[in-house]
Amino acid sequence: MTSGNNIEQEYVELNTKNEWQILYQKIRSQSQTDNMCSEAVKSENKLLNRYRDVNPYDHSRIVLKRGPTNYINANLIKVEKANRQYILTQGPLSNTYSHFWLMIWEQQCKGVVMLNKLVEKRQDKCYQYWPSKIGPEHKMQLTDVGLTVEYLEQKDYSYYLTRLLRLTDTESGNHRDILQFHYTTWPDFGVPGSPTAFLEFLRKVRDAGVLESNVGPAVVHCSAGIGRSGTFCLVDSVLILIDKYGINSVDVKEILLEMRKYRMGLIQTAEQLRFSYQAIIEGTKSGGNIDGKGENHINNVSTDASNVEDNSESEEDEVPPLPPPRLDSLPRPNGTSVDRPLPLIPNSASDHDWNYQNKDGDEENYIPSGPLPVVPGEDELSEEDELEEEDEDDARSESSLSDRSDTTNTKSSSPTELRQRNRLERKEKLEAQVRDMKRRQLVNEQWTQLKRSLYLPLVLGGTLLLGGGLIAYVYFKN
Q: Are 364 and 117 in contact (CB under 8 A)?
A: yes
Which residues are within 8 A (CB) of 143 and not within 5 positions of it... i.e. 6 or more apart? none
Question: Is residue 222 flagged as an active site residue?
Answer: yes
Judged by DSSP in three states, 426 sits in: helix
- Among residues 351, 321, 320, the alpha carbon closest in space to that of 191 is found at 351
Q: Are 235 and 7 in contact (CB under 8 A)?
A: no
Q: Classify 288 in phi/psi space as left (phi over 0), alpha (psi -120 to 50) or beta.
A: left
Exposure string (b/e) for 260-282, b if CB count within 10 Å is 16 or more? bbbbbbbbbbbbbbbbbbbbbbb
Distance between CA atoms of 18 and 23, rounded to whole angstroms? 10
Computed over its alpha carbons, how large is the radius of gyration of the chain?
29
Catalytic residue among 109, 126, 222, 233: 222
CA dihedral over 406, 411, 417, 423, signed as positive or negative: negative
Q: Are 354 and 311 in contact (CB under 8 A)?
A: yes
- Among residues 256, 253, 279, the alpha carbon closest in space to that of 266 is found at 256
- Among residues 77, 72, 30, 76, the alpha carbon closest in space to that of 55 is found at 72
* Number of neighbouring beta carbons within 10 Å of residue 232: 28
Distance between CA atoms of 389 and 22, rounded to whole angstroms? 23
Distance between CA atoms of 180 and 163, rounded to whole angstroms? 5
* Number of neighbouring beta carbons within 10 Å of residue 95: 15
Question: Mind telling me the catalytic residues?
Answer: 222
